[in-house]
Structures are given as structure tokens and as C-alpha cells.
A and B are shown apart, each in its own frame.
Chain A
Amino acid sequence: MTHLSNAPLKRTPLYSHHVFAGAKFIPFSGYEMPLHYNSGILEEHKWTRENAGLFDISHMGVAHLLDKNRSYDSVAQALELLVPSEVRSLAPGCQRYTQLTNVNGGILDDLIIARPIDLENEGKLIIVVNASRKDQDFAHISSYLPKNVSLQPQKGYVLLAIQGPASSEVLTYHDTRAKDMPFMSVAMRTIADTQVQVGRSGYTGEDGFEMLVPLSKAGEIWKSLLSDTRVKPVGLGARNCLRLEAGLCLYGHDIDEKTSPIEACLTWSIQKSRRNSGGFLGDQRILSELRNGPFRKRVGIKPAEKILAREGTEISDMYGNHIGHVTSGGFGPSVNGPIAMGYVLTASAKIGTNIMLRIRGRNCPAVITSLPFVHHRYKR
């Protein structure tokens, strides 16, 4: 999460717009990113849940996977070796959440794969990966591709997200077809007179869209969306508590190279055919965990008091036995209290189990809770 190397921080193409909006910046995955703007994290969080928040997520990595003969099947076949999800069955105009796994069944990164609907993009998949992992991801994928499929990192785009109940109306003002897009669909839509690849998805649990806008038009589109009074810019601070309330994983914290998708409770992202036949990196462990259950599991945690349990907090059972640790934790503004996610031994993972959190030398009572903490409001 923090910036460890001495390399100078990169700035997003919208840096000057963030300064103009009063951003306070933090180093994140090598980028100088807005943590929050003038109104602060709490206000931005609430605004997103009630109206619409606009996020600059251009630090994330975007690439195309392309078959030279424009065969989608061969792109899908190549990627299916690297992810546990089914790629072949992804219909044009749809996107899917999946993970890149290593030979040990650990997660190298989580990512979104999108199959464009237009004919000129036949045989192409758009993939979006985490900022902190993009270089490793692209090298990893490339090293496994057959000759006919290539990975092409895209630098000519800026990724924006608009999230919250008003986002549909905001985009519909630009393109009347926006409101009818189902959750996890992708399509070309017109925003501020520009053709934009739009997906109905996000990282907040709210209805919303993610947009791949051409670099040359990014500032114009940013300003145009903000000119709607229902829209405010929102930084990484609120993005983190929004996703935590939505029970979504943050790479490097809730999932990593040692965690399997089964332990992380991401089994829903693995389609049935792949659960049976495998055929992807790490399938031995993943199929075994599917059959026998994982050793530990990702759970929601609700501290009984007001005290906050941050990442790294030790978890024990009521007899004092160590059973796991917190991987993400803090204050949930919509929950109006502390919330956390972490891993515990499967025997202690049942919802309603009482546990203890070791915070500043004190045992604080907490309970295993179902995820998400705030109901998803996706457009189904």
C-alpha cells in the first residue's frame, strides 16, 4: 500500500485537476494519488453511498489480450491456463472478476476481464489489474502465452469510476443507453461527446460504472462529470472504507501469493466446469480445497466495542488459542462502527462465533459476521 522504493512518484494524467479540487495526496503503488479532497473521507464516503462519487483509478493496469487471427476462443484458452474462472463462456459485452493464480494455488493478483461487444474488437479481451502488480502480472501472463496471442499494455487511456445511486442518471444524461446496462456488462457509450468503453461495475458495493476514457479527453470528461451537482470527487481513503463495507478484497492485504481463492471465499468466481476439471495454475490445491474445505477462511469481523481493529491484529478464540489475524480493518462510516476482515481457522469461521482481538495489549471481544457489512446495490 505504501511507497517503499526511492523511485520518484508518478502522477496521474488528472493530477492538476486533483490539486484544483483540493486533494491531499498520498503515495500509493508508486503513484501520488488523492487520499481525499476538501470535505474529507467520511463526507466523501457518505456522498458516494447517497449520490455519486467520481474516482481517478488511472494507476491501475490496463492491457489487451489479442489473438492475431481474431479468435476469441484462442485468447480464452490461453488465459484459462492462468485463472480459475471460465473465460470461454464469457459473452460479448460482458466482464468477469477473476484471479491470476500461481502453481501453488496462491493469488498473484485479482483482475477484471472484459470482452468487448463490437465486431472490430473480436478476438480481444481487455484486462484490468492492480497498480502494485501490473508489471509482474504482465510479465507473468506474457510468459505463458502461445505465439498467436499477445499481451499489449495500454497507456493511452485513463480509468475512471463513478459510483453511487445517482451514477446511472448522471451517465444517462450523456448517453440514454447507460441506464439499461446490466451489472457486469460492457459497451461503448458516449460521454462528453467522446466514445468511451463503459462497464457497469465497481469497488464500492454501489451501482456504478468504470470507464476507460482516451487520455486526450480525460480532463474534459472529468470536468464534465463533475459539473453535475450530484457528483463529487472521491479519494482512495473513502474508496478503501467503501470496499471494506462491501466485503471486497484489497490485493496485498486480504489476498496475496499465499492465499488461495477458496480460502478467500472467492469460490463464486470459479465456474462449475473448472471446479471439476481444473486445467489452470494451482489447480491441485484449489480443487483439493474445494473437495475437503480450506484450512482457514476469510471472514467478516465486528468488534463488540468501538475500538478499531487494524490490519495485523491477532485473533484468538475464547480459550486464548491463536486462530488468525485481521487483514483489513477500520471504521465503517455507513455501519457507523468498527469493521474488519481477516482469516481464521475454518473451525472458527462460522458466523456468530465469538472471538477475541488483541489490540494494544488488551483482549477485545468481537464476533464473526457475514459479508458484506453493507448490502450490495448492483443493477441486476
Chain B
Amino acid sequence: MAQEYFSKDHEYLRVSGDTATVGITLHAQKELGDVVFVEGPEIGQHFKAGEAVAVVESVKAASEIYSPIDGLILEVNTVLESNPALVNEDAEGAAWFFKLKIIKPDQLTILMSRTDYEKFIAESI
């Protein structure tokens, strides 16, 4: 069973072994509105926590997706390039952005659980 983590930038990480599947939350896609463009990273790229990894553009604006932890890109969801609207339809399912190899597992401890994330959203409204 994968473990879920959430960042303050509204990304989720689904961790299985040393791999994290990263995407944006249901709440984030709702705030963005209709997504019309996604630009992902390239396999083999290295990112530090807080660095911009991907770009998601809605009809309203462009937003960057930050890497919540240090990692190496293992896989990129290329379906989103041809079907960016999938982010609105299934943000926390089929519309994951990329898979990361976790380098510093300690970094996961500063992220939020789903319960904490839901509390965080409720407080920020």
C-alpha cells in the first residue's frame, strides 16, 4: 500500500519503495480551472526540493510544479501533453505528472498527511 504525502504547494506524492508519484491535488486543479497545457521534465533530470519541475497552464494562468523533495526523474506522464484536460478529470489518479526516485527519505517527514493537508486548505480559505 502506497503512502500519501502532501506539500503546501498542493502537490501529492504517492510513495512506493523508493519511488514517489507526483501530481497536483484535486483542490489545486479546481483552483487552476481548465488546464490547457502541461510541460513535464525529462527522464534522468535531477531536482532539488523546491525547484520547478513542470509547468501547468490553465486558461487563467501559468503555474509551476515544484519538486517537493530531492529526486531523479524516472518517468513522465506524456498523456498529459496530448490531453491536458485529464488534470481536471482525474488529478489524483491518471493525471500524475512524473515519478521521482527518492534520494533523501528524511525529506518526506516534513510533508503533510491527507488529514493535515485538508486542514491546511480549510485554514487557507
A-chain residues with CB within 8 Å of residue B55 when the two chains form the complex = 360
Q: Which stretch in B8-16, B33-41, B98-106 binds the other chain? A: B33-41
Q: Quick one: closest B residue to A336, CB to CB?
A: B36
Question: How many residue pairs bridge A and B at CB < 8 Å?
Answer: 34
1/0 contact string of B23-59 vs chain A (CB within 8 Å): 0000000000110110100000000000000010101
Secondary structure at the B interface, as helix, strand, loop or mixed, is strand
Q: Is the CB of A237 within 8 A of B81?
A: no
- In this assembly, does A306 line the interface, its C-beta being within 8 Å of a C-beta of chain B? yes
Q: Is the CB of A308 within 8 A of B62?
A: yes
Give Cα A258–Cα B34 distance, bound, in whole angstroms.
Answer: 34
- In this assembly, does A42 line the interface, its C-beta being within 8 Å of a C-beta of chain B? yes
Given known A-B contacts A42-B34, A306-B81, A330 and B39 have beta carbons under 8 A apart: no
Q: Quick one: closest A residue to B60, CB to CB?
A: A237
Q: Is the CB of A42 within 8 A of B59?
A: yes
Q: Is the CB of B37 within 8 A of A306?
A: yes
Q: Is the CB of B37 within 8 A of A237?
A: no
Secondary structure at the A interface, as helix, strand, loop or mixed, is mixed
Q: Quick one: closest A residue to B81, CB to CB?
A: A306
Q: Quick one: closest B residue to A241, CB to CB?
A: B59
A-chain residues with CB within 8 Å of residue B39 when the two chains form the complex = 307, 360
Q: Is the CB of A41 within 8 A of B62?
A: no
Binding site for B on A (CB under 8 A): 35-36, 40-42, 45, 237, 241, 306-308, 310, 330-331, 333, 338, 360
A-B contacts, 21 of them at CB < 8 A, read: A35-B60, A36-B33, A40-B33, A40-B34, A41-B33, A41-B34, A41-B60, A42-B36, A42-B59, A237-B33, A237-B59, A241-B59, A306-B81, A307-B37, A308-B37, A331-B36, A331-B57, A331-B59, A333-B59, A338-B37, A360-B39
Q: In the complex, given contacts A308-B62, A333-B59, what are 17 additional A-B residue pairs having Cβ atoms less than 8 angstroms apart?
A: A35-B60, A36-B33, A40-B33, A40-B34, A41-B59, A42-B34, A42-B59, A45-B59, A237-B33, A237-B60, A306-B37, A306-B81, A307-B37, A308-B36, A330-B59, A331-B36, A338-B37
